[in-house]
A and B are shown apart, each in its own frame.
Chain A
Amino acid sequence: MYTPYVPRQIYVTADAANYPHTRAVLERLPSLEPITIPDITSLSRYDSTQSFVLARQKGGFFKPCPCTQKYVCCGYKILNLVNNCELNCSYCVLQGYLNNPHIIAYVNLEDLFDELDTLFETYPNRLFRIGTGELADSLSTDHLTGFSSALVAYFADKSNAIIELKTKTSQIDNFIGIEHRGRTVVSWSMNTPRLIASDESMATTLNERLAAAKKCADAGFRIGFHFDPMIHYDGWQDEYKSVVDRIFQTIPAERIIWISLGALRYPPHLDAIIREQHPQSKIVYGELITGLDGKMRYFKSVRAEMFRKMHAWIREYSTNVFVYLCMESAEMYQDVFGWDSRTTISLSRRMNELIL
């Protein structure tokens, strides 16, 4: 069952102490006595449980999405606002990626917006699709940070950029009433109720995700859905189809900007972590091979079948909704959508057209 994250301890790095967002977070957590630390490198000396850390982002916030080598890239960009996540999904790559257990929120949003202003002004003819859900769930700590409202308000008047808030939570209250002018996409990672129960058990249920998506759609936001990671198991067809049915029964197709499909994949070292940390999970027993990028992924025909069927089920409801694959080869695009390689290379351009 989903309960929003309540930290047991909060740390503030010395250089983050005076930011408005730091003060706002501390006001939301009156019962916690913040501990000041020199910087985030000193964290592991203090405790090993998942504490909340307010810090200043010293490097840039903005990065290209670390697309996997040898597969088609959609040209997404990411903002590194929060690192780490408490939802503990079995397949989460952060488990083997980040070197400390804490959730770090970077509070110097003023610097973020300066960085983005410069970027958008330098490249006025480029379109930027930007997300915050790469090293964290975009909204799982929003009840503490309130970052979503600042982001939605900032992007509302940008002509060449949109922000995507990607989540498995129902934390939409901070931004739902904010003027967004269509520059914010709110997205949900989707899975079947069975998979949510076994592998995403600390996140919201399917019903809760759909209810939150409906509220956002009603408030005029464009909605994205990411079936990622799709898991192959006995009975997947009926169960994934029924999730597609539920989406289109709940959200008007014209409010859905995109649906992505991505099959389970993870770096090989995560295999042992999943087996040890998530013994209830069966995802490691799929027919996983080593892909061209060295990641474990389903054998090609398994992926192709999943994508083709999902695509067909989506098309039963809408011929317009943009469907794309996450981290797949041009051959797979051809196999699933019949796209030739030129169309596939221009995936990024096609997605940009959606946001004009």
Chain B
Amino acid sequence: MMLKTNTVNIKLSEVDLSDRTYILTFEPMMSQMVQSIREIGLVNPPILAQISSEPRYRVISGLKRILGLIHLKKEMFPARIVQEQPDKPSIEYFLINFYENLSTRALNDVEKSIILNKLITKFNVDKETILQHYVPLLGLGKNPRVLDMYLPIVRLEDNIKIAIVEDILSHELALHMIELSGDDRQSLFHLFVTLKLGKNRQKEFMRLLTDIAKSTERSLRDVVDQPALMAVVNDEKITSTQKVERVRDLLRKMRYPRLAEAELYFEEVKKELKLPPRIVLKHSPFFESDIYSLELLFRDPHEFQKMVTKVNDISRTGAMDKLKKVGK
């Protein structure tokens, strides 16, 4: 599309930055832009739509440049101006911004969500066209499920969107978080950030926490905020790794109380048996079978003989009988 524009100098204060009709940028990285304008000036003037007879402008493309100018405390700047009815946003103008961004940089997942949402809700593009044309342009294939995966992302709070863009939170997990209430989502997110959890741990913690909340009919926020858990999170005497492990233990105890009890009891029995490090007693997975195994690590027949004697001694103490009670 050939765009007819007039290039004029306008005041920054006349640009309505709250009007996001054509904007698809999320969290622009400003430092490089500021540096570039400072060094060589504004090479490519932003495109603005004049939306009333008064000098008031809506940004079509070049938001980052305008924010850069604001940062540098400029008052006037050259812009390419088109005319527009205020209540009739034009898809052509949106597509100018879309293609310009597409050709110059990689769009992040939040921006892809913004684009798809705008095409559907603001510009009434039918879903078939979106799937056939725009979704592949965004590098998302043609699977209809893509829409379910991307459309909801815009509904998240900005701090969570930033975490997606910065790859701190997985897209998949963010989608699950949409189903939570705002309070629950923020508590969970806060916990992830405080504990600096990696994505696999985030997934594990979210599953544990939501299951505990649902099975005990509490809100997820109540589960996160419970004193025992907060005491670990806020404990300044332990390292981050220790915190993660302790919180995980706590959550597993809440989710699998009988299994946790059995594991604890088994450890106590092992302690009582006073096994040397090279005699290893193991239980079946989840204590599902009553069969235990004993592993002996030895170098030669002499060591083996010593271990057998040790095992014999242990078996006479009666402590082994306690194994019968594990998991019962």
Contact = CB atoms under 8 A, between A and B. Distances in A.
Interface string B278-305: 0000001111111000000000000000
A331 B288 CA distance: 10
29 contacts: A282-B214, A282-B215, A285-B211, A285-B215, A286-B215, A287-B255, A287-B257, A287-B258, A287-B259, A289-B256, A289-B259, A289-B285, A289-B286, A289-B288, A290-B285, A292-B284, A292-B285, A292-B289, A299-B262, A299-B286, A299-B327, A300-B288, A300-B327, A301-B258, A301-B262, A301-B328, A304-B328, A329-B289, A331-B289
A220 interface: no
Interface residues of B, number: 18
Nearest to B257: A287
A60 to B, nearest CB: 34
B215 A301 contact: no
Contact of B290 (A285, A286, A299, A331): A331
Nearest to B216: A285
Contact of B214 (A285, A289, A299, A300): A285
Nearest to A70: B289
A270 to B, nearest CB: 16
Nearest to B213: A285
Contacts of A150: none
Nearest to B261: A301
Contacts of A282: 214-215
Interface in B255-274: 255-259, 262
Interface in A285-314: 285-287, 289-292, 299-302, 304
Nearest to A302: B258
Contacts of A292: 284-285, 288-289
A299 B285 contact: no
Nearest to B284: A292
A287 B256 contact: yes
Contacts of A304: 328
B288 A291 contact: yes
Contacts of A291: 286, 288
A300 B285 CA distance: 11
Nearest to A297: B288
